[in-house]
Protein backbone atom coordinates (compact mmCIF):
# COMPACT_ATOMS: atom_id res chain seq x y z
CA UNK A 1 0.00 0.00 0.00
CA UNK A 2 1.50 3.23 -1.09
CA UNK A 3 1.84 5.99 1.42
CA UNK A 4 1.47 9.45 0.06
CA UNK A 5 3.80 11.95 1.64
CA UNK A 6 2.98 15.57 1.14
CA UNK A 7 6.22 17.29 0.23
CA UNK A 8 5.87 20.76 1.56
CA UNK A 9 8.42 23.30 0.45
CA UNK A 10 10.14 24.56 3.52
CA UNK A 11 9.02 28.05 4.27
CA UNK A 12 10.83 28.26 7.56
CA UNK A 13 11.91 31.73 8.35
CA UNK A 14 13.83 31.91 11.59
CA UNK A 15 13.01 35.61 11.49
CA UNK A 16 9.33 34.82 11.97
CA UNK A 17 9.65 31.77 14.24
CA UNK A 18 12.65 32.81 16.31
CA UNK A 19 12.77 36.07 18.16
CA UNK A 20 15.68 38.10 19.43
CA UNK A 21 18.12 36.92 16.73
CA UNK A 22 21.42 38.70 15.95
CA UNK A 23 21.10 41.83 13.83
CA UNK A 24 23.61 40.62 11.16
CA UNK A 25 22.91 36.92 10.72
CA UNK A 26 24.86 34.47 8.52
CA UNK A 27 22.53 33.03 5.90
CA UNK A 28 23.89 29.52 6.20
CA UNK A 29 21.18 26.99 5.55
CA UNK A 30 19.33 28.51 2.61
CA UNK A 31 15.58 28.82 3.04
CA UNK A 32 15.36 26.26 5.83
CA UNK A 33 17.73 27.99 8.21
CA UNK A 34 17.55 31.57 7.00
CA UNK A 35 18.85 34.06 9.54
CA UNK A 36 20.13 31.41 11.95
CA UNK A 37 23.49 32.62 13.23
CA UNK A 38 25.74 29.63 13.95
CA UNK A 39 28.30 31.95 15.50
CA UNK A 40 25.83 32.31 18.34
CA UNK A 41 25.87 28.55 18.99
CA UNK A 42 25.84 28.90 22.76
CA UNK A 43 22.86 31.25 22.81
CA UNK A 44 20.91 29.97 19.79
CA UNK A 45 21.49 26.20 20.08
CA UNK A 46 20.77 26.33 23.77
CA UNK A 47 17.23 27.48 22.94
CA UNK A 48 16.77 25.40 19.79
CA UNK A 49 14.59 22.94 21.70
CA UNK A 50 11.99 25.51 22.72
CA UNK A 51 12.02 27.12 19.25
CA UNK A 52 11.41 23.84 17.41
CA UNK A 53 8.28 23.18 19.45
CA UNK A 54 6.52 25.95 17.50
CA UNK A 55 7.53 24.68 14.06
CA UNK A 56 5.09 22.79 11.85
CA UNK A 57 5.78 19.07 11.56
CA UNK A 58 6.38 18.93 7.80
CA UNK A 59 8.40 16.67 5.52
CA UNK A 60 11.54 18.49 4.39
CA UNK A 61 12.55 18.17 0.76
CA UNK A 62 15.89 16.51 0.11
CA UNK A 63 17.08 19.49 -1.96
CA UNK A 64 16.49 21.84 0.99
CA UNK A 65 18.52 19.61 3.28
CA UNK A 66 21.33 19.36 0.71
CA UNK A 67 21.40 23.17 0.44
CA UNK A 68 21.52 23.42 4.22
CA UNK A 69 24.42 20.98 4.45
CA UNK A 70 26.40 22.73 1.71
CA UNK A 71 26.04 26.17 3.23
CA UNK A 72 26.75 24.82 6.70
CA UNK A 73 30.03 23.28 5.50
CA UNK A 74 31.03 26.49 3.68
CA UNK A 75 30.26 28.68 6.67
CA UNK A 76 32.80 30.12 9.07
CA UNK A 77 31.27 28.45 12.13
CA UNK A 78 33.30 26.04 14.21
CA UNK A 79 33.80 22.37 13.44
CA UNK A 80 31.96 21.55 16.65
CA UNK A 81 28.84 23.33 15.35
CA UNK A 82 29.09 21.62 11.97
CA UNK A 83 29.53 18.24 13.65
CA UNK A 84 26.72 18.73 16.16
CA UNK A 85 23.96 20.50 14.24
CA UNK A 86 22.32 17.49 12.55
CA UNK A 87 22.54 15.40 15.70
CA UNK A 88 20.90 18.17 17.69
CA UNK A 89 18.20 18.80 15.09
CA UNK A 90 17.11 15.17 14.75
CA UNK A 91 17.22 14.47 18.51
CA UNK A 92 15.09 17.50 19.38
CA UNK A 93 12.63 16.72 16.58
CA UNK A 94 12.38 13.12 17.83
CA UNK A 95 11.88 14.11 21.46
CA UNK A 96 9.01 16.46 20.51
CA UNK A 97 7.26 14.00 18.22
CA UNK A 98 8.02 15.84 14.96
CA UNK A 99 7.76 12.58 13.03
CA UNK A 100 7.67 14.11 9.53
CA UNK A 101 10.80 16.13 10.22
CA UNK A 102 12.47 13.05 11.71
CA UNK A 103 11.59 10.86 8.72
CA UNK A 104 12.92 13.42 6.26
CA UNK A 105 16.16 13.71 8.22
CA UNK A 106 16.50 9.91 8.48
CA UNK A 107 16.07 9.46 4.73
CA UNK A 108 18.59 12.21 4.05
CA UNK A 109 21.23 10.86 6.45
CA UNK A 110 20.77 7.19 5.48
CA UNK A 111 21.40 8.02 1.80
CA UNK A 112 24.88 9.35 2.57
CA UNK A 113 25.91 8.32 6.11
CA UNK A 114 29.61 8.91 5.46
CA UNK A 115 28.96 12.65 5.18
CA UNK A 116 27.81 12.81 8.79
CA UNK A 117 29.63 12.71 12.12
CA UNK A 118 29.81 9.69 14.40
CA UNK A 119 27.62 11.51 16.91
CA UNK A 120 24.91 12.10 14.31
CA UNK A 121 24.98 8.46 13.18
CA UNK A 122 24.69 7.27 16.77
CA UNK A 123 21.58 9.40 17.19
CA UNK A 124 20.12 7.89 14.02
CA UNK A 125 20.93 4.35 15.23
CA UNK A 126 19.19 5.08 18.51
CA UNK A 127 16.03 6.36 16.77
CA UNK A 128 15.95 3.40 14.36
CA UNK A 129 16.35 0.96 17.26
CA UNK A 130 13.61 2.60 19.33
CA UNK A 131 11.34 2.62 16.28
CA UNK A 132 11.90 -1.08 15.56
CA UNK A 133 13.33 -0.31 12.12
CA UNK A 134 15.89 -3.11 12.37
CA UNK A 135 16.31 -3.66 8.61
CA UNK A 136 17.61 -0.08 8.32
CA UNK A 137 19.51 -0.29 11.60
CA UNK A 138 21.68 -3.26 10.58
CA UNK A 139 23.44 -1.82 7.48
CA UNK A 140 23.94 1.56 9.13
CA UNK A 141 25.44 -0.12 12.21
CA UNK A 142 28.00 -2.07 10.15
CA UNK A 143 28.79 1.02 8.08
CA UNK A 144 29.29 3.02 11.27
CA UNK A 145 31.58 0.39 12.83
CA UNK A 146 33.73 0.14 9.71
CA UNK A 147 34.63 3.81 10.08
CA UNK A 148 35.72 3.62 13.72
CA UNK A 149 39.33 3.54 14.82
CA UNK A 150 40.23 1.20 17.74
CA UNK A 151 40.33 4.21 20.06
CA UNK A 152 36.94 5.45 18.85
CA UNK A 153 35.44 1.98 19.37
CA UNK A 154 36.37 2.26 23.05
CA UNK A 155 35.13 5.85 23.38
CA UNK A 156 31.75 5.10 21.78
CA UNK A 157 31.35 1.60 23.26
CA UNK A 158 28.67 2.47 25.83
CA UNK A 159 26.63 4.48 23.29
CA UNK A 160 26.85 1.69 20.71
CA UNK A 161 25.77 -0.92 23.25
CA UNK A 162 22.78 1.18 24.33
CA UNK A 163 21.59 1.04 20.69
CA UNK A 164 22.41 -2.62 20.05
CA UNK A 165 20.51 -3.82 23.11
CA UNK A 166 17.28 -2.48 21.65
CA UNK A 167 17.64 -4.82 18.66
CA UNK A 168 18.10 -8.52 17.85
CA UNK A 169 21.77 -7.66 17.25
CA UNK A 170 22.27 -7.37 21.03
CA UNK A 171 24.98 -10.09 20.94
CA UNK A 172 27.26 -7.65 19.12
CA UNK A 173 27.44 -5.73 22.41
CA UNK A 174 29.67 -8.35 24.05
CA UNK A 175 32.54 -7.19 21.83
CA UNK A 176 32.25 -3.71 23.33
CA UNK A 177 31.81 -5.13 26.82
CA UNK A 178 35.16 -6.91 26.41
CA UNK A 179 36.72 -3.62 25.28
CA UNK A 180 35.33 -1.92 28.38
CA UNK A 181 36.69 -4.62 30.68
CA UNK A 182 40.15 -4.49 29.07
CA UNK A 183 40.22 -0.69 29.36
CA UNK A 184 39.00 -0.56 32.96
CA UNK A 185 35.77 1.28 32.18
CA UNK A 186 32.82 1.33 34.65
CA UNK A 187 30.61 -1.60 33.66
CA UNK A 188 27.36 -0.33 35.14
CA UNK A 189 26.66 1.55 31.89
CA UNK A 190 26.61 -1.81 30.06
CA UNK A 191 23.82 -3.39 32.12
CA UNK A 192 21.47 -2.73 29.21
CA UNK A 193 23.02 -5.88 27.69
CA UNK A 194 20.95 -7.83 30.20
CA UNK A 195 17.82 -6.08 28.96
CA UNK A 196 18.67 -7.07 25.38
CA UNK A 197 19.24 -10.65 26.51
CA UNK A 198 15.91 -10.70 28.36
CA UNK A 199 14.13 -9.71 25.13
CA UNK A 200 16.01 -11.63 22.45
CA UNK A 201 18.29 -14.34 23.89
CA UNK A 202 17.43 -17.97 24.64
CA UNK A 203 16.58 -18.32 28.33
CA UNK A 204 19.80 -20.22 29.04
CA UNK A 205 21.87 -17.32 27.69
CA UNK A 206 19.91 -14.87 29.84
CA UNK A 207 21.12 -16.59 33.00
CA UNK A 208 24.66 -16.91 31.66
CA UNK A 209 24.66 -13.14 31.13
CA UNK A 210 23.37 -12.56 34.67
CA UNK A 211 26.27 -14.66 36.00
CA UNK A 212 28.74 -12.76 33.82
CA UNK A 213 27.75 -9.39 35.28
CA UNK A 214 27.63 -10.84 38.80
CA UNK A 215 31.31 -11.80 38.52
CA UNK A 216 31.95 -8.06 38.13
CA UNK A 217 29.86 -7.18 41.19
CA UNK A 218 26.79 -6.03 39.25
CA UNK A 219 23.15 -7.05 39.47
CA UNK A 220 20.26 -6.68 37.01
CA UNK A 221 18.38 -3.41 36.71
CA UNK A 222 14.65 -2.78 36.95
CA UNK A 223 14.51 -2.66 33.15
CA UNK A 224 15.86 -6.21 32.98
CA UNK A 225 13.30 -7.59 35.44
CA UNK A 226 10.49 -5.82 33.60
CA UNK A 227 11.60 -7.22 30.22
CA UNK A 228 12.09 -10.74 31.61
CA UNK A 229 8.78 -10.88 33.50
CA UNK A 230 6.88 -9.54 30.49
CA UNK A 231 8.52 -12.16 28.29
CA UNK A 232 7.72 -15.18 30.46
CA UNK A 233 4.24 -13.81 31.13
CA UNK A 234 3.25 -14.07 27.45
CA UNK A 235 5.12 -17.37 27.06
CA UNK A 236 2.49 -20.11 27.24
CA UNK A 237 4.99 -22.97 27.13
CA UNK A 238 5.68 -25.20 30.14
CA UNK A 239 9.24 -23.84 30.29
CA UNK A 240 8.02 -20.35 31.29
CA UNK A 241 7.33 -21.47 34.87
CA UNK A 242 10.69 -23.24 35.02
CA UNK A 243 12.59 -20.10 34.05
CA UNK A 244 10.57 -17.87 36.37
CA UNK A 245 11.47 -20.22 39.23
CA UNK A 246 15.08 -20.13 38.10
CA UNK A 247 15.02 -16.33 38.31
CA UNK A 248 13.58 -16.53 41.83
CA UNK A 249 16.39 -18.92 42.78
CA UNK A 250 18.92 -16.36 41.51
CA UNK A 251 17.27 -13.64 43.57
CA UNK A 252 17.42 -15.88 46.63
CA UNK A 253 21.06 -16.91 46.26
CA UNK A 254 22.33 -13.36 45.62
CA UNK A 255 19.83 -11.71 48.02
CA UNK A 256 18.68 -9.29 45.33
CA UNK A 257 15.52 -7.32 46.06
CA UNK A 258 13.08 -6.24 43.35
CA UNK A 259 10.91 -3.12 43.37
CA UNK A 260 7.14 -2.74 43.71
CA UNK A 261 6.89 -1.95 39.99
CA UNK A 262 8.23 -5.43 39.19
CA UNK A 263 6.47 -7.42 41.91
CA UNK A 264 3.04 -6.74 40.40
CA UNK A 265 4.19 -8.42 37.17
CA UNK A 266 5.46 -11.43 39.13
CA UNK A 267 2.11 -11.69 40.93
CA UNK A 268 0.24 -11.49 37.61
CA UNK A 269 2.42 -14.23 36.11
CA UNK A 270 1.64 -16.70 38.90
CA UNK A 271 -2.04 -15.82 39.18
CA UNK A 272 -2.53 -16.52 35.46
CA UNK A 273 -1.26 -20.00 36.22
CA UNK A 274 -3.66 -20.66 39.08
CA UNK A 275 -1.61 -19.41 42.04
CA UNK A 276 -2.89 -17.10 44.78
CA UNK A 277 -0.83 -13.96 45.38
CA UNK A 278 -1.06 -11.47 48.23
CA UNK A 279 0.91 -8.21 48.20
CA UNK A 280 1.86 -6.03 51.17
CA UNK A 281 2.35 -8.93 53.58
CA UNK A 282 4.38 -8.21 56.73
CA UNK A 283 6.59 -10.75 58.45
CA UNK A 284 5.56 -11.38 62.05
CA UNK A 285 8.91 -12.31 63.51
CA UNK A 286 9.81 -15.42 61.53
CA UNK A 287 6.27 -16.08 60.29
CA UNK A 288 4.46 -14.91 57.16
CA UNK A 289 1.58 -12.68 58.22
CA UNK A 290 -0.64 -14.19 55.51
CA UNK A 291 -0.11 -17.96 55.36
CA UNK A 292 1.97 -18.44 58.55
CA UNK A 293 4.82 -20.05 56.59
CA UNK A 294 7.98 -20.31 58.70
CA UNK A 295 10.61 -17.98 57.22
CA UNK A 296 14.35 -18.53 57.50
CA UNK A 297 16.20 -16.37 60.00
CA UNK A 298 18.78 -13.76 59.05
CA UNK A 299 22.25 -15.12 59.72
CA UNK A 300 25.68 -13.63 59.33
CA UNK A 301 28.61 -15.96 59.83
CA UNK A 302 31.54 -15.33 62.15
CA UNK A 303 33.79 -14.91 59.11
CA UNK A 304 31.44 -12.37 57.51
CA UNK A 305 31.09 -10.31 60.69
CA UNK A 306 34.87 -10.42 61.20
CA UNK A 307 35.45 -9.19 57.65
CA UNK A 308 32.89 -6.40 58.10
CA UNK A 309 34.38 -5.43 61.48
CA UNK A 310 37.89 -5.26 60.04
CA UNK A 311 36.74 -3.28 57.01
CA UNK A 312 34.81 -0.83 59.19
CA UNK A 313 37.78 -0.30 61.50
CA UNK A 314 40.16 0.39 58.61
CA UNK A 315 37.84 2.59 56.54
CA UNK A 316 35.85 4.47 59.18
CA UNK A 317 37.65 4.35 62.53
CA UNK A 318 41.17 4.67 61.15
CA UNK A 319 40.27 6.10 57.74
CA UNK A 320 41.97 5.55 54.41
CA UNK A 321 42.20 9.15 53.16
CA UNK A 322 42.89 12.42 54.92
CA UNK A 323 39.92 14.24 53.40
CA UNK A 324 37.14 11.95 54.67
CA UNK A 325 34.63 14.10 56.51
CA UNK A 326 34.08 11.86 59.49
CA UNK A 327 37.67 11.06 60.34
CA UNK A 328 37.91 12.72 63.74
CA UNK A 329 39.45 9.82 65.66
CA UNK A 330 42.51 10.96 67.59
CA UNK A 331 45.40 8.72 68.65
CA UNK A 332 44.23 9.14 72.25
CA UNK A 333 40.74 7.88 71.38
CA UNK A 334 42.15 4.91 69.50
CA UNK A 335 44.29 4.02 72.49
CA UNK A 336 41.25 4.43 74.74
CA UNK A 337 39.21 2.09 72.51
CA UNK A 338 41.93 -0.57 72.52
CA UNK A 339 42.24 -0.37 76.31
CA UNK A 340 38.47 -0.56 76.72
CA UNK A 341 38.22 -3.70 74.56
CA UNK A 342 41.17 -5.26 76.37
CA UNK A 343 39.57 -4.70 79.78
CA UNK A 344 36.03 -5.98 79.09
CA UNK A 345 35.54 -9.55 80.22
CA UNK A 346 32.83 -10.42 77.68
CA UNK A 347 31.34 -9.15 74.45
CA UNK A 348 28.13 -7.15 74.54
CA UNK A 349 24.56 -8.11 73.75
CA UNK A 350 23.57 -4.54 72.95
CA UNK A 351 25.20 -1.16 72.25
CA UNK A 352 23.10 1.92 73.11
CA UNK A 353 23.44 5.31 71.44
CA UNK A 354 23.12 7.24 74.71
CA UNK A 355 22.45 10.79 73.41
CA UNK A 356 20.00 9.42 70.86
CA UNK A 357 18.19 7.49 73.57
CA UNK A 358 17.87 10.47 75.92
CA UNK A 359 16.68 12.84 73.19
CA UNK A 360 13.99 10.35 72.14
CA UNK A 361 12.88 9.17 75.57
CA UNK A 362 12.84 12.67 77.06
CA UNK A 363 12.20 14.69 73.91
CA UNK A 364 9.88 17.21 75.58
CA UNK A 365 12.53 18.28 78.06
CA UNK A 366 16.02 19.71 77.88
CA UNK A 367 18.47 16.99 78.90
CA UNK A 368 20.78 19.35 80.77
CA UNK A 369 17.90 20.46 83.00
CA UNK A 370 17.12 16.93 84.22
CA UNK A 371 18.64 15.29 87.26
CA UNK A 372 20.86 12.23 87.07
CA UNK A 373 18.15 10.20 88.80
CA UNK A 374 15.56 11.02 86.11
CA UNK A 375 17.98 10.11 83.33
CA UNK A 376 19.04 6.91 85.07
CA UNK A 377 15.46 5.81 85.73
CA UNK A 378 14.51 6.35 82.07
CA UNK A 379 17.46 4.24 80.99
CA UNK A 380 16.75 1.52 83.57
CA UNK A 381 13.18 1.21 82.36
CA UNK A 382 14.41 0.49 78.83
CA UNK A 383 17.14 -1.88 80.04
CA UNK A 384 14.62 -3.89 82.01
CA UNK A 385 12.36 -4.23 78.97
CA UNK A 386 15.26 -5.25 76.74
CA UNK A 387 16.26 -7.84 79.32
CA UNK A 388 12.75 -9.23 79.70
CA UNK A 389 11.54 -9.07 76.08
CA UNK A 390 14.74 -9.72 74.15
CA UNK A 391 16.82 -11.57 76.79
CA UNK A 392 19.70 -9.09 76.59
CA UNK A 393 22.06 -8.97 79.57
CA UNK A 394 25.28 -7.15 78.74
CA UNK A 395 25.03 -3.52 77.60
CA UNK A 396 27.44 -0.78 76.57
CA UNK A 397 26.51 2.91 76.58
CA UNK A 398 28.31 5.02 73.96
CA UNK A 399 28.11 8.79 73.80
CA UNK A 400 29.57 12.18 74.63
CA UNK A 401 27.76 12.80 77.94
CA UNK A 402 30.90 12.63 80.04
CA UNK A 403 29.33 14.74 82.78
CA UNK A 404 26.36 12.40 83.14
CA UNK A 405 28.17 9.08 82.84
CA UNK A 406 30.90 10.09 85.30
CA UNK A 407 28.33 11.05 87.95
CA UNK A 408 27.91 8.39 90.66
CA UNK A 409 24.21 9.24 91.11
CA UNK A 410 23.57 8.20 87.52
CA UNK A 411 24.78 4.67 88.29
CA UNK A 412 22.87 4.02 91.52
CA UNK A 413 19.64 2.81 89.90
CA UNK A 414 21.59 0.88 87.24
CA UNK A 415 23.55 -1.00 89.91
CA UNK A 416 20.35 -1.85 91.76
CA UNK A 417 18.82 -3.16 88.53
CA UNK A 418 21.94 -5.24 87.92
CA UNK A 419 21.74 -6.76 91.40
CA UNK A 420 18.14 -7.83 90.76
CA UNK A 421 18.47 -9.11 87.19
CA UNK A 422 22.14 -9.85 86.51
CA UNK A 423 22.34 -7.07 83.92
CA UNK A 424 25.79 -5.54 83.41
CA UNK A 425 26.33 -2.07 81.93
CA UNK A 426 29.61 -0.54 80.74
CA UNK A 427 30.20 2.84 79.13
CA UNK A 428 32.53 4.18 76.46
CA UNK A 429 32.56 7.97 76.44
CA UNK A 430 34.15 10.15 73.75
CA UNK A 431 34.93 13.84 73.60
CA UNK A 432 32.27 16.26 72.39
CA UNK A 433 34.21 16.73 69.12
CA UNK A 434 34.47 13.03 68.43
CA UNK A 435 32.52 10.87 66.01
CA UNK A 436 30.92 8.59 68.58
CA UNK A 437 28.90 6.80 65.85
CA UNK A 438 32.06 5.12 64.57
CA UNK A 439 32.90 3.68 68.00
CA UNK A 440 29.29 2.66 68.52
CA UNK A 441 29.06 0.63 65.31
CA UNK A 442 32.53 -0.82 65.75
CA UNK A 443 31.79 -2.09 69.26
CA UNK A 444 28.54 -3.66 68.03
CA UNK A 445 30.30 -5.40 65.14
CA UNK A 446 33.18 -6.45 67.38
CA UNK A 447 30.68 -8.05 69.77
CA UNK A 448 29.63 -10.53 67.10
CA UNK A 449 26.61 -11.48 64.99
CA UNK A 450 24.18 -11.60 67.94
CA UNK A 451 24.75 -8.06 69.19
CA UNK A 452 22.06 -5.37 68.75
CA UNK A 453 22.54 -1.63 68.40
CA UNK A 454 19.94 0.89 69.61
CA UNK A 455 19.84 4.15 67.66
CA UNK A 456 17.68 6.18 65.30
CA UNK A 457 20.72 7.25 63.29
CA UNK A 458 20.82 5.61 59.85
CA UNK A 459 24.64 5.93 59.48
CA UNK A 460 24.44 6.77 55.75
CA UNK A 461 27.87 8.37 55.66
CA UNK A 462 29.53 5.30 57.15
CA UNK A 463 27.93 3.01 54.55
CA UNK A 464 29.15 5.36 51.82
CA UNK A 465 32.67 5.38 53.27
CA UNK A 466 32.77 1.57 53.30
CA UNK A 467 32.09 1.35 49.58
CA UNK A 468 29.44 -0.66 47.68
CA UNK A 469 30.23 -4.20 48.89
CA UNK A 470 30.85 -3.60 52.60
CA UNK A 471 28.28 -0.80 52.63
CA UNK A 472 25.62 -3.26 51.48
CA UNK A 473 26.71 -5.75 54.15
CA UNK A 474 26.40 -3.05 56.80
CA UNK A 475 22.89 -2.21 55.52
CA UNK A 476 21.80 -5.83 55.86
CA UNK A 477 23.34 -6.02 59.32
CA UNK A 478 21.52 -2.83 60.38
CA UNK A 479 18.20 -4.13 59.05
CA UNK A 480 18.54 -7.24 61.21
CA UNK A 481 20.30 -5.88 64.32
CA UNK A 482 19.33 -2.20 64.77
CA UNK A 483 16.54 -1.43 67.25
CA UNK A 484 14.97 1.99 66.67
CA UNK A 485 13.32 4.29 69.22
CA UNK A 486 9.94 6.02 69.25
CA UNK A 487 8.85 8.70 71.75
CA UNK A 488 6.27 7.68 74.31
CA UNK A 489 5.69 6.41 77.81
CA UNK A 490 7.22 3.93 77.89
CA UNK A 491 9.60 4.63 75.04
CA UNK A 492 8.90 2.55 71.94
CA UNK A 493 11.52 -0.05 71.01
CA UNK A 494 11.00 -1.18 67.42
CA UNK A 495 12.62 -4.55 66.88
CA UNK A 496 14.35 -5.15 63.52
CA UNK A 497 13.30 -7.74 60.97
CA UNK A 498 14.34 -11.20 62.12
CA UNK A 499 13.89 -13.12 58.87
CA UNK A 500 16.40 -13.26 56.04
CA UNK A 501 15.72 -10.55 53.45
CA UNK A 502 15.72 -12.80 50.40
CA UNK A 503 13.33 -14.84 48.29
CA UNK A 504 12.24 -17.91 50.23
CA UNK A 505 10.26 -21.03 49.35
CA UNK A 506 9.82 -23.31 46.35
CA UNK A 507 7.30 -24.47 43.78
CA UNK A 508 5.64 -26.99 46.11
CA UNK A 509 5.27 -24.97 49.33
CA UNK A 510 4.91 -21.54 47.75
CA UNK A 511 7.12 -18.46 47.38
CA UNK A 512 7.73 -15.50 49.65
CA UNK A 513 9.32 -12.62 47.76
CA UNK A 514 10.52 -9.47 49.57
CA UNK A 515 10.26 -6.20 47.66
CA UNK A 516 10.74 -2.46 48.02
CA UNK A 517 7.41 -0.70 48.32
CA UNK A 518 6.69 3.02 48.11
CA UNK A 519 6.14 3.38 51.86
CA UNK A 520 8.62 5.40 53.88
CA UNK A 521 11.25 3.23 55.48
CA UNK A 522 14.80 3.32 56.82
CA UNK A 523 17.47 3.86 54.17
CA UNK A 524 19.26 0.69 55.26
CA UNK A 525 16.15 -1.48 54.92
CA UNK A 526 15.82 -3.00 51.45
CA UNK A 527 12.64 -4.91 52.30
CA UNK A 528 9.39 -3.08 52.95
CA UNK A 529 6.86 -5.86 52.31
CA UNK A 530 6.46 -9.39 50.96
CA UNK A 531 4.53 -11.07 48.16
CA UNK A 532 3.04 -14.32 49.44
CA UNK A 533 2.44 -16.81 46.60
CA UNK A 534 0.51 -20.02 47.28
CA UNK A 535 0.34 -22.82 44.68
CA UNK A 536 -2.94 -24.14 43.33
CA UNK A 537 -4.65 -26.76 45.45
CA UNK A 538 -3.99 -30.26 44.10
CA UNK A 539 -6.80 -31.70 42.04
CA UNK A 540 -8.75 -34.43 43.85
CA UNK A 541 -7.80 -37.88 42.66
CA UNK A 542 -10.40 -39.94 40.98
CA UNK A 543 -10.15 -43.61 41.79
CA UNK A 544 -11.80 -46.36 39.86
CA UNK A 545 -13.64 -49.03 41.75
Q: What is the β-pairing status of strands 510-516 and 504-506?
A: antiparallel
Distance CA(262)–CA(84), nearest Å, equals 38
- Helix, strand, coil percent content, the chain, rounded in steps of 5: 55, 10, 35
pLDDT-wise least confident of 19-23, 35-39, 254-258? 19-23
Please check whether residues 417 and 461 belong to one and the same domain.
Answer: yes
Q: Is the pLDDT reported for residue 154 higher than 80?
A: yes
Residue 265 in domain: yes
More confident site: 156 or 538: 156
Pick the last residue of a domain from 494, 511, 529. 494
Please indicate, yes or no, whether residues 225 and 249 belong to a single structural domain of this protein. Answer: yes
* pLDDT of amino acid 19: 29
Number of structural domains the chain divides into: 2
Residues 459, 367, single domain; the answer is yes
Report d(CA 412, CA 418) in Å as an integer: 10
- Tell me how far apart the alpha carbons of residues 511 and 504 are, in angstroms, rounded to a whole number: 6
> 291 and 238 share a domain?
yes
337-346 pLDDT, tens digit per residue, is: 999 999 998 9
Q: Which of 16-20, 67-71, 80-84, 375-379 has the lowest mean pLDDT?
A: 16-20
Same domain, 386 and 444: yes
pLDDT(10) > 60: no
Check residue 474 and give its pLDDT. 93
- Whether residue 52 is contained in a domain is answered as no
pLDDT over 90 percentage in the chain: 58
The pLDDT of residue 333: 82
| β-bridge pairing 482-486 and 452-454 | parallel
Which pLDDT belongs to residue 190? 97
Write out the residue range of the structural domain in which residue 263 sits.
221-297+497-537
% of the chain exceeding 70 in pLDDT:
85
What pLDDT, on the 0 to 100 scale, is given for residue 169? 96
User: For the chain, what is the total number of helices (H) and then of strands (E)?
Assistant: 25, 13
**With 80 as the cut, is the pLDDT of residue 327 above it?**
no
In the 3-class helix/strand/coil scheme, how is 347-371 assigned residue by residue? Answer: CCCEEEEHHHHHHHHCCCCCHHHCC
Q: What are the Cα distances from residue 191, in Å, to 158, 266, 416?
A: 10, 21, 60
Query: Nearest CA to 137 among 113, 101, 104?
Result: 113
Coil/strand/helix, residue 174: helix
Distant-in-sequence contacts of 359-364, Cβ < 8 A, 24+ apart: 360/456, 360/485, 360/486, 360/487, 360/491, 361/485, 361/487, 361/491, 363/487
Please, which pLDDT band fits residue 220 given cuts at 50, 70 and 90? Answer: very high
118 domain-assigned: no
pLDDT for 458-515, tens place per residue? Answer: 999 898 889 888 998 999 999 999 999 988 777 888 888 889 999 999 999 999 999 9
Asked whether residue 414 is domain-assigned, the answer is yes
pLDDT band of residue 517 (cuts 50, 70, 90) is confident
pLDDT digits (tens, 9 = 90+) for 374-401: 888 999 999 999 999 889 999 999 988 6
Average pLDDT on 315-332 reads 66
Among 201, 177, 203, which residue's Cα sits nearest to residue 191? 177
Whether the Cβ atoms of residue 283 and residue 295 lie closer than 8 Å to each other: yes
Instruction: Specify whether 365 is located in the same domain as 436.
Output: yes
Q: For 137-148, what is the mean pLDDT?
A: 96
- Integer Cα distance of 34 and 71 in angstroms: 11
- 6 pLDDT band, cuts 50/70/90, is very low
pLDDT, position 18: 29
Q: Tell me, yes or no, whether 429 and 513 share the same domain.
A: no
Please indicate, yes or no, if residue 308 is contained in any of the structural domains: yes
**Tally of CB atoms within 10 A around 545:** 2
Same domain, 288 and 244: yes
Given pLDDT bands bounded at 50, 70 and 90, which one contains residue 372? confident
Domain containing residue 280: CATH number:
1.25.40.10
Are residues 271 and 362 located together in one domain of the fold?
no
Mean pLDDT, the chain, whole residue set? 85
Q: Do the beta carbons of residue 354 and residue 403 sit within 8 Å?
A: no
**Section 135-158 average pLDDT:** 96
Residue 389 lies in a domain: yes
- DSSP class per residue in 143-159: HHHHT--HHHHHHTHHH
- Residue 320: is its pLDDT beyond 70? no
pLDDT of residue 539: 67
Give the CATH number of the domain where residue 316 resides.
3.40.50.11980
pLDDT in tens, 25-68: 223 333 444 444 444 444 455 655 666 667 778 888 898 888 88
Contact (Cβ atoms closer than 8 angstroms) between residue 193 and residue 186: no
- Is residue 8 one of the residues assigned to a domain? no
Same domain, 444 and 524: no
Question: Model's pTM, two decimal places?
Answer: 0.79
Are 264 and 319 in a shared domain? Answer: no
What pLDDT is recorded for position 22? Answer: 31
26 vs 518, which has greater pLDDT? Answer: 518
Contact (Cβ atoms closer than 8 angstroms) between residue 302 and residue 407: no
pLDDT at residue 543 above 60?
no
Weakest mean pLDDT among 13-22, 248-257, 432-441: 13-22
- CA separation for the pair 206, 200 (Å, rounded): 9
Question: Is 212 a domain residue?
Answer: no
Count other Cβ atoms within 10 Å, centred on residue 344: 16
pLDDT in tens, 206-218: 999 999 999 999 9
> Are residues 467 and 518 located together in one domain of the fold?
no
Q: Is the pLDDT score of 269 beyond 90?
A: yes
Rg from Cα positions in the chain: 32
Amino acid sequence: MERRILLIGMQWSFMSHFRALPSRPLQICSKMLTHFDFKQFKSDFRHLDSRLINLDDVFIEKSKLEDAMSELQLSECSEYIKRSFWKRLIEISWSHGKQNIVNSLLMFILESPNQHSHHTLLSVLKILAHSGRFSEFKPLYYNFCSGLSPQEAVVFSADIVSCLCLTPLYKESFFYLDLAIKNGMPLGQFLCILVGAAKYAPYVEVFETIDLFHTHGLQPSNDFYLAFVNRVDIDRSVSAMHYMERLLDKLSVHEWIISSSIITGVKRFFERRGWTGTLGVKAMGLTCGNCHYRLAKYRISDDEISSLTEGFYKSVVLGTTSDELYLTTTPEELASLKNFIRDVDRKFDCIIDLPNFFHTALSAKKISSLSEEVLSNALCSALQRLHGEHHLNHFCLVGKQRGIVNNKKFWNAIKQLGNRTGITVRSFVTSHKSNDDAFMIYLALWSGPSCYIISNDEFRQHRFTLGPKLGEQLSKWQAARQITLHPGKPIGLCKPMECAARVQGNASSGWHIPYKSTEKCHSYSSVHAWLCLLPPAPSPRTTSE
